[in-house]
Structure formats: structure tokens, C-alpha cells
Structure 1
Amino acid sequence: MKNEVELVVYGAEVLCPSCVNLPSSKEQYEWLQAAISRKYGTEGINYKYIDIYNPPEEKPYEEFAERVIEEDMFYPVVLVEDEIVGEGNPRLKTVYKALEERGFEPQSS
């Protein structure tokens, strides 16, 4: 593995209007974390969940949370480093691809 990677999920407690039949942002965050940990282990990936309506007072998180609201993005929005890899209903395949591009390899069973 090359180094530490940050995976950030931006979401809200309220479901986005177009995501009515999907799990909540927090549930999808937990699901992603579990699926990624099973495939790549727990080392090197730092997970962060950001509530778009109550982001931490750290500039990059605050600014992106505002962007999600202003641009009417479907949430959760998943970022690996600063790359958007999922929006609304994130696909594991896309998230896995972004991690592998950053040097992560699936663990052998």
C-alpha cells in the first residue's frame, strides 16, 4: 500500500428527494466501510462522515458540504481523496477502482 487515503461521505439524516427507496446516508456510509474493510482490510483508509447541514468548521469540508446543497447533488456523495466516486447510490465497483488506483490491493482470503 502506498499511503493513507481519506474516504469522505457527505450526507444528511433526511433522505434526498430522489433517493426515497435507498438506505440513509449514514447507513450507506457504514455499509461502504464494512464492504471496503472486508476487501482491503482496515489499514490505510481513514473514513469520515460529514453531515451536509452541520459540517465541521474545517474549510474543505464546509465548502464541499455547501456545494452538495447548492448543486442539488444526490447524497450521499462519496469522495476518495478529492475525487467524487459516488453520488446518491454509490457503486462498490467505482469506489474499489478509485482505491486500487491509489495502491490498494484486495486481501487474499
Structure 2
Amino acid sequence: MEKEITITVYGADQICASCVNAPGSKDTYEWLQAAIARKYGDANIHYTYVDIFSPPEDEKIQDLARRVADDEFFYPLVLVDDEIAGEGNPRLKTIYSKLEEKGLQPKM
């Protein structure tokens, strides 16, 4: 069985002020799931969405959510196994590259 990969999207309902004309965080979260499923099939990927203004009770997640809310990063911020793969208006090519570094192969 292949190792589970975690994709986490940090965002908010409000669109990032620096990301005018970019899709919202939840739209990006849903778009990523669909795009990744098309390319990699039913790979062992776990998706998580974190609202930066009401993160879960996990210190590590709360710290990163606070950093995003404090404008250290643009949102949506996309992580692949805790590595930043994109922010603001993330690019699929970069995210795919991170997934393939983790051993994921496109479906035939």
C-alpha cells in the first residue's frame, strides 16, 4: 500500500486582498481535489481545509493559520505533507511536482 499524502489548504471565505480575480479558498480546495483525481486517480490522498480565522485545536495548525492571517503568506496556502506547494493562486504544475516527489505517479 502506498503512503498516504496529505494536502492541506489554508484559507478563508474572504478572498485574499492581494489575489483579486483569483478563485476563493474553498473553490481552490475543491478544484485541487478534482484536478488531482483526474491525473492520479484514486490515489491515497487525504485533503484538509483549514479556515485561518477558526482553525482546529492543534497548535501547529493554529500557528500556521495565524501566520497566514497575519499576511506572512497569501491564501489559499497549499501544503503537500507540510511542504508549501503554492500560495495565492497556486499552480497545478508545482503541486503535481510535489506529489510526484512523494512517489505519486499519474494514472495511465
Segments of 4+ moved more than 3 angstroms: none
Q: Quick one: distance in 2 between partners of 1:42 and 1:9? A: 19
Normalization by structure 1: what TM-score? 0.94
For residues 13-92 of structure 1, the aligned pairs below 5 Å read: 13-92=13-92
Q: What is the Cα deviation at residue 43 of structure 1? A: 2.7
Deviation (angstroms), 1:63: 1.2
* Cα distance in 2 for residues equivalent to 1:58 and 1:37: 28
Q: For residues 59 and 81 of structure 2, what CA distance do their matches in structure 1 show?
A: 15
Give the aligned residue type for 1:13.
Answer: D
Gaps of 5+ in 1: none
Q: State the Cα distance separating 1:36 from its structure 2 match.
A: 0.3
Residues in 1 aligned to 2:25 and 2:74: alpha-carbon distance in whole angstroms: 10
User: Could you say which residue in structure 2 is the equivalent of 1:105?
Assistant: 105
Partner residue in 2 for 1:5? 5
Residue by residue over 1:3-54, the C-alpha shift from the partner in whole angstroms, topping out at 9 and shown as x without a partner, is 0011000000001101121111000110011000111112311000000001
State the superposition RMSD in angstroms.
1.2
Q: Which runs of 5+ in 2 are unaligned?
A: none
Q: CA deviation at 1:69?
A: 1.7
Residue type at the aligned position of 1:101: E
Letter paired with 1:90: P
- The percentage of counterpart residues that share the same residue type is 56
Cα deviations by residue, 1:69-102 (Å, 9 ceiling, x for unpaired): 2244210000001110100000000000000000
